[in-house]
Amino acid sequence: MPVLPEVALAALDTASGGAIVAVPPGSRARHAVLLALHGWGDSPEWECEAWGALVERRFFVLCPRGALAAGGGYTWRSAAHLAEAVDASLAALGAAFPEHVDAVRPLLTGFSLGAVWGRELLARDPTRFSAVVFVEGGYEQAPFASPAAARERSLPRLLYACGQWACTEKARRLAGRLGAWADVDVVSRPVGHTYGGELFAAVRRAWPWLVAGDARFAL
């Protein structure tokens, strides 16, 4: 099996606009995939740098690129647009590193608008993902249909990470409603509408709980 290249970030060409991937350096093994969905005016490079640092590039961090946003950066036009980009990016990653990618049940993350539309991906097929982190978004509606659906499916653990009080309050309220039949938690730091830094330090401390049962994502 060939060795993965010693590059921090690599660009992937896709029909949906491309993607960036943080590559596990110098490895011959197969690695799982963390999907990182950027927010409005954000970029896939920033997401891959932040998440790649948090997980120490122990697995692939795949960051699809949305459409150009007014004022700079990128955005998602709809849940369908995001879903198309996710599928195209996973296909491109598999084609680029066919002997190294384990794309079964990726870990899903999203920031702001990426979390809002990412919630639609999760609601559509919860069993597709191993675990989920929504940062400053995704708490607007419950991502899981009902307790009956939970009994019928293996639901991923869901972590909300909040830098603002409105996010914290609403995410905690939602977690309280879902907590009887789904594994949901909230971490919060008063850092504003952003990611990384103190907020990602809190996510890192919650990581063992988040990925319990899936050794592919252990740190």
pLDDT tens-digit readout, 175-190 = 998 888 889 999 999 9
What integer pLDDT is reported at residue 65 of this predicted model? 97
Tens-place pLDDT, residues 125-154 = 888 999 999 999 999 988 887 655 555 567
pLDDT tens, position by position, 53-85: 999 999 999 999 999 998 889 999 999 999 999
CATH number at residue 183: 3.40.50.1820
pLDDT at 40 > cutoff 80: yes
Looking at this protein, which amino acid is placed at residue 86?
V
Whether residue 206 lies inside any domain: the answer is: yes
Residue 95's domain spans which residues?
9-217
Report the predicted TM-score, pTM, of the whole model to 2 decimal places.
0.94
- Count of domains forming the chain: 1
Mean pLDDT, the chain, as a whole number? 91
Q: SS3 letters for the chain?
A: CCCCCCCCEEEECCCCCCEEEECCCCCCCCECEEEEECCCCECHHHHHHHHHHHCCCCCEEEEECCEECCCCCEECCCHHHHHHHHHHHHHHHHHHCCCCECCCCCEEEEECHHHHHHHHHHHHCHHHCCEEEEECCCCCCCCCCCHHHHHHCCCCEEEEEECCHHHHHHHHHHHHHHCCCCCEEEEECCCCCCCCHHHHHHHHHHHHHHCCCCHHHCC
Asked if residue 4 is part of any domain, the answer here is no
Give dist(CA 216, CA 29) in Å, integer. Answer: 11
- In this prediction, residue 103 carries a pLDDT of 95
Q: Is residue 3 part of a domain?
A: no
